[in-house]
Amino acid sequence: MNDALDVTLRLLIVFVVFLTFPLLVGQTEHKVMAHMQGRLGPMYAGGFHGWAQLVADGVKFAQKEDVVPAGADRRIFQLAPAVALLPYLLVLLAIPIGPGEGAVGEVVDAGIFFVLAVMGVGVLGSLMAGWASANKFSLLGGLRTAAQLLAYELPMLLTAASVAMAAGTVSLVGILDAFEWWWLPWQIVGAIVFFVAGLAELQRPPFDMPVADSEIIFGAYTEYTGLRFALFLLAEYAGIVVLCGLTAVLFLGGWHGPWGADGLGWVWTLLKTAVLAFIVIWLRVTYPRLREDQLQKLSWTLLVPLSLAQIALTGIVKVVIQ
């Protein structure tokens, strides 16, 4: 009975985090972008600095008519947002935010494996949407999404493997238990490659060629309206939370902090995640979109060789210090 209560509570917390954190990132994005670009941003909804803008957006999305184009593959078209969104919910369960069993949704032994595999499923939602819309823009967007997944999944896998080598385990909790501060410079190349590849997988600027709104009108999401479009947006922001959380856990030491009481590990995790999320927003404002061929080139001729080099470095250092 106690176990059941425990599990219920954990699931509830993960679910609430899944619903609120992406919105926090979204609201931060509104405000940070506005400040960086010297414009006002949302200021009216709710009174104080437009805090209720996302609530208003939600109400608007819920009221909009749900249009499924006559030419579309109806079932697949309607299911796609769910396929894009739900993997991120599952990944959140496995990310530890503090030391011990108490501060992780559920300890999954093959943590890295599970997390990377499930994250890959999310892209399937975009592919389904792109194909099922029967729209030329969507088809282009879907194909570009596929190309991007092919290019960037690999450096992500390789750099994650580098961390697994350093820690000698594939469990996320185990990696954090083994973490030491000198890993930061040791794994820094891997960290950057992982983060960049993750951004590309989320199709965030500057890697947003598949959704380029000014060019192919949001690519795979062209035909979506209302709630289903909102779920795609939520998936994007949930993806940011997951990517930043994972980068913090794998490369930045997660709950380890330079100072502070033992009980405050989760604060460090959240802080690192928040800083990374800020960087994601910052990159969106700073860099122009990469062209499709540049996207592929960046991955195959820079990120993949770099991650191979990182693996070599990890291997040598690890064997030498043994």
Positions 287 through 316 that interact with other proteins (CB under 8 A): 292-293, 296-297, 300-301, 304-305, 308, 311-312, 315-316
| Cβ atoms < 10 Å from Cβ of 134 | 14
Q: Does 24 contact other proteins by CB under 8 A?
A: no
Q: Which of the stretches 78-86, 180-188, 199-207, 273-281 binds other proteins when contact is defined by CB under 8 A?
A: 78-86
Our finding on whether 140 is near other proteins (CB under 8 A) is yes
In whole angstroms, what is the distance from residue 275 CA to residue 315 CA?
A: 29
DSSP state of 108: -
Segment interacting with other proteins, rule: CB under 8 A, options 42-50, 59-67, 241-249, 269-277 = 59-67
For residues 33 and 143, which CB has a smaller minimum distance to other proteins in the complex? Answer: 143
Does residue 16 bind other proteins (CB under 8 A)? Answer: no
Of 74, 70, 62, nearest to 228 by C-alpha is 62
Take residue 62 and report the two structure tokens written for it.
Answer: 């819920």
Amino acid at position 160, single letter: A
Residue 21 backbone phi and psi in degrees, to 5: -60, -45
The single residue among 54, 127, 151, 209 that binds other proteins, judged by CB under 8 A, is 151
For other proteins, the binding residue among 53, 138, 203, 269 (CB under 8 A) is: 138
Residue from the set 29, 201, 208, 223 that interacts with other proteins by CB under 8 A: 223
What letters, b where the CB count within 10 A reaches 16 and e where it falls short, cover 57-85?
A: beeebeeeeeebeeebbeeebbbbbebbb
Q: Is 226 in the site for other proteins (CB under 8 A)?
A: yes
> Site for other proteins (CB under 8 A): which residue of 17, 32, 54, 86?
86
Query: Does residue 36 belong to the site contacting other proteins (CB under 8 A)?
Result: no
Sign of CA dihedral 304, 113, 146, 210: negative
136 belongs to the binding site for other proteins (CB under 8 A): yes
- Rounded to whole angstroms, how far apart are CA atoms 230 and 226? 6
Task: Pull the structure tokens for residue 55.
Answer: 């609530």
Q: Is 216 in the site for other proteins (CB under 8 A)?
A: no
Reply yes or no: is the peptide bond before residue 206 cis, omega within 30 of 0. Answer: yes
Count the site residues for other proteins by CB under 8 A: 78
Contact between 76 and other proteins (CB under 8 A)?
Answer: no
